[in-house]
């Protein structure tokens, strides 16, 4: 989507108020309902729908009525909110031409009131060419739902933090000026991407400098993860500047070695193809450890041999793959290792004591096994006694059950003889038997509906009464 800054001069305070209301509503809604926008904006004289129509005309919001009537922000509307905030801060006073387009960002030239030119990077995650951010980066962490605008904001915050920290530690990176929403303002690098350079005066020196930067980043606890010819700027004096940092991870990441080797491989391939530098093939870590001379000839840095010598930027910046829990676990492990080393030294001095302990343990195990045998014999005898008692109890219970059944049958016969003399009781018994037989066959109610025998007025008719009597008989 093309950024037309001229529209910015035609927007009023009410327009930005409604845009901000839509942004606030998108914290809890993918599509913000119109009623919620009206309540959040709270315009004095009303007219929110009129403002929304104006924003729709400039494509700053998107209307969606599939489930309910609502609106959501577009990247252009998010750009205008960020640029307006930077204008109010005095960081930016003019926006110039577009100088770069990436898979997840657009870069523009901007200027402040003094005429100093900066570079403004607008993150645009969610493009068709780059939509696997959720699976490849841990911006969301424990969240399941996400918005592309929110992801772009997180990427901008991470890049700004990495850029500030690396500049403080002397890395050749652009100067970070300010950050708002998904927008990062930085100093403009006077140079060209390395991919556009066809010739170099000292390609070997530049190659060693770039590989040294990768190793130095790892020594500070960080891996770039996208260190290639597109993210390396070089000027006329062949000075190197590294850009693009939102995807950086810690050396404690579970895929840190893979990312490190990939960055190194990208540089080797580029200089081999573009500047015809000859390198020997990469060897495995075991071979490189076995022969130091071969590793010196190859010049391929080994990830396992790199140690943190200066600072812990991954811990300070909470880089991906490094958490406080990991740091606590590492400290616990180091403490346990130190204790084990001390114990091992003590064990060498007093080894006889451990032999005595082992003999005592064996004696204790033998005593336990003997006691278990005695317990098994006793339990077997108890089981035989209990089985005999159970058999006797079952026989007595069977005899008592037989006696009870005989008594019950005698009582039933007596009741039947009594009921034979009384005709009314015999009729009742016959009715109960019929009902039981009907219930057993599933014929509880013979009517099709619950209210089929009722009149409209709710009173039972004469025919319904007859049907009830027939059902009883």
Tokens of 441: 């066959």
Planar angle of CA 463, 465, 467, nearest 5 degrees? 70
Helix residue ranges per DSSP H, 26-67: 34-41, 48-57
24-39 CB burial, b ≥16 within 10 A, e <16: ebbeebebbebebbbe
Do 226 and 247 form a contact (C-beta atoms < 8 A)? yes
226 has catalytic annotation: yes
Tokens of 132: 């696997």
In this structure, what are the phi and psi dihedrals at residue 76, rounded to the nearest 5 degrees? -65, -40
Determine the Cα–Cα distance for residues 301 and 214; give it in Å rounded to an integer. Answer: 9
CA distances from 303 to 86, 223, 307, 323 (A): 41, 11, 9, 21
Q: Give the count of alpha carbons within 13 A of 321, CB side only.
A: 21
Helix (H, G, I), strand (E, B) or coil at 423: helix
Per annotation, catalytic residue among 14, 64, 178, 226: 226
Tokens of 149: 């605008």
Determine the Cα–Cα distance for residues 225 and 85; give it in Å rounded to an integer. Answer: 32
Beta bridge partners of 120: 108, 185
Provide the 10 A C-beta neighbour count for residue 48.
20
Helix (H, G, I), strand (E, B) or coil at 193: strand
User: What residues act catalytically?
Assistant: 226
């Amino acid at each position: 989507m093309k950024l037309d800054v001229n529209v910015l001069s035609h927007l009023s305070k009410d327009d930005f108020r409604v845009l901000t209301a839509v942004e606030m509503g998108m914290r809890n809604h993918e599509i913000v309902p119109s009623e919620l926008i009206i309540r959040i904006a709270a315009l004095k004289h009303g007219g929110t729908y009129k403002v929304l129509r104006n924003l729709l005309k400039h494509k700053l919001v998107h209307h969606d009525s599939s489930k309910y009537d609502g609106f959501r922000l577009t990247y252009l509307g998010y750009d205008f909110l960020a640029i307006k905030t930077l204008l109010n801060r005095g960081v930016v006073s003019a926006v110039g031409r577009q100088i770069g387009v990436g898979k997840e960002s657009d870069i523009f030239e901007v200027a402040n009131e003094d005429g100093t030119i900066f570079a403004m990077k607008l993150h645009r995650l969610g493009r068709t060419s780059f939509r696997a951010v959720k699976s490849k980066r841990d911006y969301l962490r424990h969240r399941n739902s996400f918005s592309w605008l929110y992801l772009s904001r997180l990427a901008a915050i991470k890049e700004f933090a990495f850029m500030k920290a690396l500049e403080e530690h002397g890395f050749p990176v652009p100067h970070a000026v300010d950050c708002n929403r998904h927008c990062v303002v930085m100093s403009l690098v006077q140079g060209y991407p390395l991919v556009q350079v066809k010739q170099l005066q000292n390609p070997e020196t530049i190659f060693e400098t770039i590989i040294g930067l990768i190793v130095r980043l790892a020594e500070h606890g960080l891996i770039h993860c996208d260190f290639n010819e597109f993210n390396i700027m070089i000027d006329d004096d062949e000075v190197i500047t590294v850009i693009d940092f939102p995807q950086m991870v810690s050396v404690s990441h579970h895929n840190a070695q893979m990312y490190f080797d990939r960055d190194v491989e990208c540089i080797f391939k580029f200089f081999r193809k573009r500047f015809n530098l000859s390198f020997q093939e990469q060897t495995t870590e075991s071979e490189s450890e076995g022969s130091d001379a071969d590793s010196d000839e190859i010049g391929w840095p080994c990830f396992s041999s790199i140690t943190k010598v200066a600072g812990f930027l991954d811990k300070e910046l909470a880089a991906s793959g490094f958490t406080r829990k990991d740091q606590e676990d590492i400290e616990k492990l180091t403490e346990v290792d130190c204790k084990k080393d001390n114990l091992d030294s003590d064990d060498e001095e007093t080894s006889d004591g451990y032999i005595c302990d082992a003999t005592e343990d064996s004696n204790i195990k033998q005593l336990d096994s003997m006691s278990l045998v005695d317990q098994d014999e006793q339990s077997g005898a108890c089981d035989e006694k209990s089985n005999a008692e159970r058999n006797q109890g079952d026989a007595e219970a069977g005899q008592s059950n037989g006696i009870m059944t005989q008594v019950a049958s005698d009582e039933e016969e007596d009741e039947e003889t009594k009921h034979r003399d009384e005709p009314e009781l015999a009729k009742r018994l016959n009715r109960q038997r019929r009902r039981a037989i009907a219930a057993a066959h599933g014929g509880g109610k013979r009517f099709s509906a619950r209210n089929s025998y009722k009149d409209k007025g709710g009173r039972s008719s004469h025919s319904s009464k007859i049907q009830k009597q027939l059902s009883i008989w």
